[in-house]
Structure 1
């Protein structure tokens, strides 16, 4: 009986040691599975992603800026020339008492609804009882003017007054062709009714450039 008791005691001790060893092994396994420390360090890479997002945003902003700067080029469009259809053309007597020559002032008024440019000499012809008489240019320097809608410019037509006492040459109309145009308009002549008879050596009628006379001058 004693031998059997010792055997049971030895078995009990061996079983205890085996149980302790198993528990120690299980603890090591659990520790290995709950150790994600290296993975937490991997999250440190996320700031580099944020940095690339900021770079993308700045590139988007620069593209918007270039788009905005392009819109400024539309503002540099040139104003077109004033055409006959763009203008209201009138004439009035501008002769001042005591002058040896008469003056008719022609007014060009922009009625196009937009700005236009006028510069140079208009073509001027007088219709007379002796035929058409073309005005000569005075040779004055020309200037360019941009007329806003409703604005006007002027030029003078000068001619000799008939002081001979004779009937002279009767003036029946005024034909005006704006600068750089081919379409004329015919106006009623507002000046003295006749020109003196000349020897035909040249036209006594002269025209100044646009902008060289004021209304009523």
Structure 2
């Protein structure tokens, strides 16, 4: 029995020495301390990365667009006028239609306006000239114009009488009817296509505050 008790005592001493070697001076397990520090750094890096990602997304969204936030120009917010711009000696007549932003805030015009001439023979829709049409951000109080080109009636005949001008702003369905400012008549055609063309925004000048 004495031999067995001494063996147990020796094993207990050896186990105690092993635990002391694995612990720090204050008895706290070093492995636990290392694990906690590593976990904190990982959490901090993860939080930092998440914060940067969220900030980048927000920055991109807000920076994408002052211009993108501008609503389209509504017919009711535009002051629409027309004037004759034909120059003596030109082979064709021209008129300018001007949109002035009276809505009190910036608005966007993108594409071509719709243009119809009211004539003694019925409505005549203008065709697009095919020029590139860049979006326009129209600030409050500023104007932009586009051109209507049409053939002059030099045939000597009475021609087709023009009685009015119908204009629809781009991407709108509400139209306005204006007095026609150009020549009184168009030459008679065989009806195979429109002889009137409309240019994009800015085709009658760059516009500007007025």
Give TM-score scaled by structure 2 length.
0.66
- For residues 195 and 83 of structure 2, the distance between their equivalents in structure 1, rounded to whole angstroms, comes to 19
| Aligned mate of 2:156, from 162, 165, 168 | 165
Give the gaps of 5 or more residues in structure 2.
1-54
- Structure 1 partner of 2:110: 119
* 1:143 and 1:211 in contact (8 A); partners too: no
- Structure 2 partner of 1:191: 182
- Structure 1 partner of 2:171: 180
- Structure 1 partner of 2:27: none
Query: Following TM superposition, by how much is the alpha carbon of 1:199 offset from its aligned partner in structure 2, in angstroms?
Result: 0.7
- For residues 156 and 92 of structure 1, the distance between their equivalents in structure 2, rounded to whole angstroms, comes to 10
**Measured at CA, do residues 79 and 215 of structure 1 come closer, stay the same or move farther in structure 2, by a change above 3 Å?**
closer
- Structure 1 partner of 2:136: 145
Superposed CA RMSD: 2.4
- Structure 2 partner of 1:209: 200
Higher helix share: 1
SS in 1 for 2:148: strand
SS in 1 for 2:76: helix
SS in 1 for 2:71: coil
2:123 is the counterpart of 1:132: yes
Query: Following TM superposition, by how much is the alpha carbon of 1:211 offset from its aligned partner in structure 2, in angstroms?
Result: 1.3
Give the gaps of 5 or more residues in structure 1.
1-68
* 1:126 and 1:174 in contact (8 A); partners too: yes
